[in-house]
Amino acid sequence: MTPPPVTVIIVAYNSGDFLQACVDALAAQTFGAFHAVIADNASTDGATERLRLPDHRFRLRAMGENLGFAAANNRVAFDATSEFIVLLNPDTLPEPGWLEALVAAAERHPEAASFGSLQVRLDNPEVFDGVGDVWHVAGIAWRALEGQPRRRIEDADIMGPCAAGALYRRQDFVEIGGFDERFFCYCEDIDLALRLQLAGRGARRVAGAVLHHAGSGTTGRVSEFTLFHGHRNRIWTFLKNTPGVWLWLWLPCHLAANVWLIWRYRSLGVSGTLWRAYVAAWRGRAPFLAERRRTRDRGAYRRAMRLMAFNPWAASRRTLGPSG
């Protein structure tokens, strides 16, 4: 039989009550031609043991250990045979037309490799959780419009989708190497977005693909885990994906941004976690700088810059989280 065009991947790790609700919402989608794989990263909270799979389209795949978000998604995506892969966080609830809207957008825009959701807060759907990832040239990432009152927006080009709910063309995902597994968790989606942009493959926001998202619902928005991985990986993303002379041009801004972030987080008592993240980023810098030297298409970077943020005050309005 011809496989369905979509493989949906839900990476679960101690996802609690979020997981069953997410799976049930996926089963209720108006677009039903998909397989869904729940990739269990050796959860210990019993959520996957209690999970009730709705029908034959769903299966549970035990990863054997906690591989992290990046590697678990890669394992399933590389094994898939579908045209599209769709990533869905367990702390989300997709509205019934969510998947149909993503697939329709992918069919309308063959020039794009990835497509992102319109995310609203799970506890307050009148507030945006994000409508696509933003990358500042100083090396700070955030979700566009996060925390702002919900209003009508249109489909548009974006730097990249938040991987909490995103569709990728599997061929593009595999050819670019998927997520960087060294990241383990956090910033792997913006790193992938930058690499796809540098390869000439764009991204689109799909306003009709509405996703309710708890936002770090399983890891905690300002937990030690979230802050360490988010800030370490953010620095690696900057070093890896800023080619040529641009790295030296933006480096003073990057250093200033990191000093500012330490000052901004001072009231939370997490300065020690940030310093450990920065030390780990510095110690692990060599392979990322080596990969940067192989990023030679400076013209592609200039084209991608039209989607980047330059305003030095833009990041100051972001909610405190893993990427600042």
Between β-strands 156-158 and 202-213, what pairing exists: parallel, antiparallel or unpaired?
antiparallel
Q: Is the pLDDT of residue 187 over 90?
A: yes
pLDDT at site 316: 60
Residue 11 has phi, psi (to 5 degrees) of -90, 120
pTM: 0.93
pLDDT at site 6: 98
pLDDT at site 306: 93
CB-CB contact of 257 with 231 (8 Å)? no
Place of tokens 């309308």: 108
Please give the full DSSP string across 294-319, using - where no structure is assigned: T---HHHHHHHGGGSB--TTGGGGSP
Averaged confidence pLDDT in the chain: 92
C-alpha to C-alpha distance for 147 and 24, rounded to whole angstroms: 27
CATH code that applies to domain 6-213:
3.90.550.60
Contacts of 56 (CB under 8 A, 6+ apart): none
More confident residue, 269 or 24: 24
C-alpha to C-alpha distance for 296 and 195, rounded to whole angstroms: 12
Q: Among 257, 211, 22, 239, which residue's Cα sits nearest to residue 117? A: 211
C-alpha to C-alpha distance for 113 and 116, rounded to whole angstroms: 11
Q: What angle do CA 214, 6, 118 make, to 5 degrees?
A: 35
Convert the pLDDT of each residue in 249-307 to its tens digit.
Answer: 999 999 999 999 888 888 888 888 999 999 999 999 999 999 987 766 667 888 899 99
C-alpha to C-alpha distance for 282 and 276, rounded to whole angstroms: 10
Q: Is the pLDDT of residue 216 over 60?
A: no
CB-CB contact of 211 with 163 (8 Å)? no
Kindly state the DSSP code that residue 190 receives in the 8-state scheme. H
Q: What region does 53 belong to: left with phi over 0, alpha with psi -120 to 50, or beta?
A: beta
Q: Is the pLDDT of residue 2 over 80?
A: no
Contacts of 313 (CB under 8 A, 6+ apart): none
pLDDT at site 315: 66
Domain ranges in the chain are 6-213, 224-317
Q: Is the pLDDT of residue 246 over 50?
A: yes
pLDDT at site 317: 58
Residue 287 belongs to what H/E stretch? helix 285-293
Convert the pLDDT of each residue in 162-173 to its tens digit.
Answer: 999 999 999 999
Contacts of 138 (CB under 8 A, 6+ apart): 250, 253, 254, 256, 257, 312, 315
Q: How far is CA 34 from CA 9, 26, 87, 171, in A?
A: 10, 10, 12, 17
pLDDT at site 304: 92
pLDDT at site 312: 80
CA atoms within 13 A on the CB side of 91: 20
pLDDT at site 24: 98
Question: For residue 320, what are its two tokens?
Answer: 């405190």
